[in-house]
A and B are shown apart, each in its own frame.
Chain A
Amino acid sequence: MSALLEIERVEAGYGPVQALFGVDLTVAEGEVVALMGRNGMGKTTTIRALCRLLPATAGTIRFGGTDLAALPPHRAARLGLGLVPEGRRCFAPLTVAENLVVAANPGPWDQPRVERLFPRLAERRGQSARTLSGGEQQMLAIGRALMTNPRLLILDEATEGLAPVVRQEIWAAIRALKAEGLSILLVDKSLRELSAVADRAVVLERGASVWTGPMAGLTPEMADRWLGV
């Protein structure tokens, strides 16, 4: 497997406050990688640095062989980074269909295909996005990212704060996307669900990657040490 995404010794921060102190992370073509760690350990910051929404102060980020350092964030996105940001916010003034259309790039993912993955979006096509339930908004946010026809789908806390039933729907969709061979980088708190879908885990501790390996290699002791609250 060739590496689609290679993050090496990346450091980043917010103004004078440094948040990342050397993150290493790779995602191969077709691989599903879980980015794990307790709250405040740098998961979202890593994703923001990857998507160029936050400048990396050190280290390199290569995506599909291209160095992202010099690119503005919209150009990085066009290379195939499909971000589903934390908080599942949609474009509130637009309808469900318009939220999808606005993100569209040519490729296998189009509106009918997204609506097959999430039939609820088809039912709500003409509705204003702000009238959707939390779960439906998350589906729309994932659908919007898929409409860009990404090479890497990035899910930041995609199931946070959702009812268990809806959560299962989202996980089912993620498994379906994995089965189709899409590369996915995901952040989530549910160790059980991550174990079922992720090939590999990267654990962050105080802004640095401290462990990487197959999901099965993450022992209960390690999980307790790095992920327990």
Chain B
Amino acid sequence: MSRLALVNIAVLGLLIGGALVAHLTGHAFLVTLATKAAIFALAGVGLNFALGYGGLVSFGHAAFFGIGGYVTGILASHAMSGTPLTTLPYTMNGTNEMLAIWPMVLLVSGLAALAIGALSLRTSGVYFIMVTLAFAQMIYWFAIGWPAYGGEDGLSFYVRNTFPGVPTMRPLNYFLICTALLLLALGFTAVVMRARFGLALQAARRNTQRTVAVGIRPFGIRLTAFVISAMITGLAGSLYADLNRFVSPAMLNWHMSGEIMVFIILGGVGRLMGPVAGAVVFVTMEHLLGGITEYWQVLLGLVLLAIVLWAPGGIVGMLSGRGRDNAH
């Protein structure tokens, strides 16, 4: 087994093992913390799909994280109040079933990404970063000015949505649901990046003209990757809303976009397990250092600086001894 595979297993083992030990020793709060790490990791896996493999530096993925959260919150609040979302053209009711909410989340975040991506991907470099940021901020301000769903105060829905046969309010159960989705997303990413689509995406990251010369149109590939990326991050947003039973415009804020990017940079850009390692470290640091000082992000900043300067492959790259070679 390669060193990289060992590192990957260790990262997942730390997350899952940590949650199980916390559960067995009765530390329910730590299980919830691990759940948060798994959800952030999933959001990072989504962004890594576009940023890490495709080189599309989206600074607006909070848009999809927040859209996932709001779709979940809106559906759940309507289910709770018993009022329909809309009666035109036909009656559409809310729902509190995760299996009904998730497809809706994937659909809405995918459509949003299709529109945002189709426009942003006409630019590149720093312009792409700014255009994605601008779209996310538009949605952020829209949410703040939307009183029907809480505006600036956000939207609470008190009871976690249901999953068939699983009492989701038990911390370990919800952790396992989130981790299962994380593993699915990781498996999906691994398979896609070895298929021709994923290879073309990675090829286009390095050189657009060479990709064109073998008959591949980078725009279509990049747009598809952007949409898939947004759907995964949107799903993470849905899980995050369910974790807190609360959504607010903060999920859409550019701080959130930055945090998702930090998970990837910490863990390793374009590494399969990079976002997982990054999210685990981020949540752990927030928990341990946040208890000591509210300025813990200063320390995070130093760690980030050290990684960017001395370990461009992130934690995964450093531990696997493949600091510069970023093929998977």
Binding site for B on A (CB under 8 A): 51, 53, 72-75, 77-78, 81, 83, 85, 89, 91-95, 98-99, 101-105, 128, 130, 144-145, 147-148
Contacts and interface: CB of A to CB of B under 8 A. Distances in A.
A46 B203 CA distance: 25
B327 A144 contact: no
Given A91-B206, A94-B203, A148 B215 contact: yes
B200 A93 contact: no
A102 B213 contact: no
Contacts of B212: 53, 73-74, 77
A103 B217 contact: no
Among A74, A94, A99, A104, residue most surrounded by chain B Cβ atoms (within 10 Å): A74
B325 A72 contact: no
Given A77-B215, A91-B210, A102-B214, 5 more contacts: A75-B215, A91-B206, A102-B203, A103-B214, A145-B214
B209 A102 contact: no
B169 to A, nearest CB: 44
Given A74-B216, A95-B327, A105-B215, A85 B206 contact: no
Contacts, number: 69
11 contacts: A72-B217, A74-B212, A74-B215, A78-B215, A83-B213, A98-B194, A99-B203, A102-B203, A103-B214, A128-B325, A145-B214
A77 B202 CA distance: 19
A73 B213 contact: yes
A102 B209 CA distance: 14
Interface of B: 194, 196, 199-200, 202-203, 205-207, 209-217, 270, 325-327
A92 B202 CA distance: 9
Contacts of B202: 91, 93-94
B327 A101 contact: no
Contacts of B194: 98
Contacts of A83: 213
A94 B214 CA distance: 15
Contacts of B209: 53, 73, 85
Q: Which A-B residue pairs are the 10 nearest by beta carbons?
A: A77-B215, A103-B214, A102-B199, A91-B203, A78-B215, A74-B217, A83-B213, A73-B212, A74-B212, A93-B202
A72 B200 CA distance: 18
Among A53, A73, A101, A102, residue most surrounded by chain B Cβ atoms (within 10 Å): A102
B206 A93 contact: yes
A102 B207 CA distance: 13
Among B196, B199, B214, residue most surrounded by chain A Cβ atoms (within 10 Å): B214
A94 B327 contact: yes
